[in-house]
Structure 1
Amino acid sequence: MSQETVKAALMQAIAGIQGNPGAAKVVFRADTQLEEDVRCSAKVRDFAPIIVDEPPDLGGADAAANPVELLLVALGACQEIMYSAYASVMGVQLNSVKVNLRGYLDLRGLFGMDAAIPPGYQKVIFETAVDSPADMETLKKLVETVEKHCPVLDTLVRAIEVSGQVTLNGQLMEAGAVPA
């Protein structure tokens, strides 16, 4: 797909939303299932299932990336997609975009060994390398735009509402059993 094709698709989507603001509200879905030990499968739209596993030192067979690695993948891929999308709209030629990510996690939080340590990442670092013939001013504007509008980056840095419910043997747990 060329930069012009990406731009045309995005401009058509923007025009559609301008004509019908309700079309801007979308819901993405995923269904996951524990398969065996700590290996899971995830289903998104009509794609083949995504396998998720853990390394052997966390009880897995190392058959696939684990959930926290997938979070890094989601951030890096979202950044790259946003660079492509905004560069096409802004008319900026990109030769390449690569993102290197690291997530720092303390397993004492995951294993419940220290209540003061959160179970998730304490820090995520991404390093983006953009290669483009565009001038520095244009590229700085592109970077600012991408970092301001990347949905996964925004989701990670902004507190959002997350809620859930648990059904045990076909019976919904009482309200308040799952933190909102």
Structure 2
Amino acid sequence: MIQASFKKNPAQAQATFKSVSELKDGLVSSGQLRTFQIKADEPESFGGTDSAPNPVEVLLFSLGACQAGQGKKEEITTKAFANAMGVPLKRVSVELQGHIDLRGFFAVDESIRAGFNKIEGTFTVESPADTETIEKLKAAVDAHCPVKDMLQAVPMEVKLNHIQV
């Protein structure tokens, strides 16, 4: 188990992640994350070509992906804690909405922050486990998701939707 390994050898728990991005044509940025290529653009209404998600959409996806971790071999937050707690999962999904006042981004009003002012959504878990167990799992995910941790300055309300199967 990963947690036991890190307790024995804290030096193994140190990680560095790297991203390289470059502005290309118009508002399109291309980037590299390890061996993966990624692209970002803005909608046409913001002056982009709408050829890719914009950076704030990628951030919302990052939060949802960090919390959900549906892949069979991925040890992303929910899967890692479900495994550690012995909670069987059938399906996990996260739907998020980020609310932003664009006056901050476009420098219309300097008193308004440029980023999200609220993130809300639904964390859906299909599992045969009882609701109390799933609530404990969500609490562990909320407490340990690195992306959520980095966004703590933003009010966030992600409601649990437990589908007992």
Which TM-score bucket, shorter chain as reference?
0.7 to 0.9
Distance 1:91 1:80 in 2: 16
Instruction: Tell me how far apart the structure 1 counterparts of residues 104 and 131 of structure 2 sit (CA, whole Å).
Output: 42
Q: Which runs of 5+ in 1 are unaligned?
A: 1-10, 160-180
Deviation at 1:134, TM superposition (A): 0.4
CA radius of gyration, larger in: 1
Note the alpha carbon deviations across 1:30-70, whole angstroms, 9 max, x for none: 111101110001101112x1010010011111111000101
Q: How far does residue 21 in structure 1 lie from its aligned partner after superposition? A: 1.1
User: Hey, what's the Cα distance between the residues in 1 that align with 2:29 and 2:105?
Assistant: 18
Identity of aligned residues (%): 44
Query: Which of 108, 112, 126 is the equivalent residue of 1:131?
Result: 126
Amino acid at match of 1:103: G
Q: Does 1:76 align with 2:71?
A: no
Give the secondary structure class of the aligned counterpart of 1:119: coil
Describe the superposition over 1:116-137 as per-residue Cα deviations: whole angstroms up to 9, x where unpaired.
Answer: 1111111111211111100122
Q: Which has the higher strand share?
A: 2
User: How many residues of Structure 1 are paired with residues of Structure 2 in the alignment?
Assistant: 147
Please name the residue that 2:151 is paired with: 156
Shift of 1:14: 2.5
Does structure 2 retain, via aligned residues, the 8 Å contact 1:76–1:126? no
Q: Which has the higher helix share?
A: 1
**TM-score, with length taken from structure 2:** 0.84
Cα distance in structure 1, aligned partners of 2:132 and 2:115: 37
Moved over 3 A (4+): none
Amino acid in the other structure paired with 2:6: I
Other-structure match for 1:5: none
| Letter aligned with residue 124 of structure 2 | A
List runs of 5+ in structure 2 lacking aligned partners.
Answer: 70-76, 155-165
Give, as a single letter, the amino acid of the residue that structure 1 aligns with 2:52: A
Partner-residue secondary structure (3-state), 1:122:
strand
Q: Secondary structure at the match of 1:64?
A: coil
| 2:48 aligned partner | 60
Match of 2:8 among 19, 30, 47: 19
- For 1:65, the aligned partner's letter is P
The answer on 1:42 being equivalent to 2:37 is: no
CA distance in 2, matches of 1:135, 1:58: 45
Match of 2:98 in 1: 103
Partner SS for 1:108: helix
- Partners in 2 of 1:61 and 1:146 — Cα distance? 36
